[in-house]
Amino acid sequence: MLFDSHAHIDDKRFDADRTEVIQRAAEAGLVGIINAGACMESSARSIALAEENALIYAAVGIHPHDAQGAKASDYEQLAAWSLLPKVVAIGEIGLDYYYNLSPREIQQAVFIRQIDVAKQLKKPIIIHDRDAHGDVLSIVKKEAKGVTGVFHCFSGSLEMAKEVIKLGFYVSFAGPVTYAKDGKLKEVAANIPLERLLVETDCPYLTPQPYRGRRNEPAYVRYTAEEVARARGMDFGVLAAAATANTKRLFSIPE
C-alpha cells in the first residue's frame, strides 16, 4: 500500500510506454500517484492523465524555472483548474537558486501569487526548494498562514524539517535518501514525526538505488519507503501505510 506523492509521468521520457509504467505502478501495489505540474502545459497534461486514470491525481502550478513566463491570466486558469475534482494541490511551486533559470525576484513574486491562489481555494501547496531554504521559509511564514502543504524532495536539515512541521507542513522523501552518502537525509527521515512524512519518486528524476542512473518511475517509490523504514527502525508495511494515510489526509483524497 504505497502512494507516490510526487511524479511527472506526463514527461516526454514516458511517451513510449506511459500505459505500461502506470500498469507497473498498480502491480507494485501503489494506490495513488500525484502528478505535479511544472508549467501551464504540464499542468494541463497532469489533469488529462488524472481524468483518464483512476490511480492518478493532479497538481497544477508554475515551477520556479518557468516563473519568468508567467502571465496574469495563468493564475486565473490555475484557480479554475483547482475546482476540478481530481486536482488536489497547487504545485509544484517555490524557489530554485541552484539553476536560477528565472530571476530570483520573479521566482519569489510568482511563488507568492500561487500561494495566494491556494489560500483562496483552500488547496495545499507542493513546494520546490533548491538552495533557497531561507527565502522559502521566509515567504511561507509571511504569506502562507492558514495554508498547508509539503516540502517535496526535502533537502534541508533536521532543524529545518522541525521548523517546516511546526508551520503545519509535511516533509517528503525521494530517491536521494537511498544514496549511501546522504546521511543528513537519513537523519531527518529517522527523527521527524511519522504523521508528517511522505514518500515520492519525483520521476523521471532522482532514481533510487538499486536503479540509480536509469529513468525513475512510480513503482520505484518502494525503495525510498524501504530506506525510510530502515532509518526509523520500523516495519516497512507500517511505514508504507502511514505515509499513504498522510498523503490522503494532506490532499483530501478519500479512502
DSSP characters over 195-213: GGEEE---BTSSPPTTSTT
Could you state, in order of their start, the residue ranges of all structural domains in the chain? Answer: 2-250
Write down the architecture of domain 2-250 according to CATH.
Answer: Alpha-Beta Barrel (3.20)
Digitized pLDDT (tens) for each residue of the chain, 255 residues in all: 899 999 999 999 999 999 999 999 999 999 999 999 999 999 999 999 999 999 999 999 999 999 999 999 999 999 999 999 999 999 999 999 999 999 999 999 999 999 999 999 999 999 999 999 999 999 999 999 999 999 999 999 999 999 999 999 999 999 999 998 889 999 999 999 999 999 999 999 999 999 999 999 999 999 999 999 999 999 999 999 999 999 999 999 998
Q: Name the residue with cell 486558469.
A: 77
What is d(CA 107, CA 68) in angstroms, rounded to the nearest whole number? 7
pLDDT at 255: 81
pLDDT at 182: 80
Query: What's the whole-model pTM score?
Result: 0.97
CA dihedral 224, 160, 57, 49 (to 10 degrees): -80
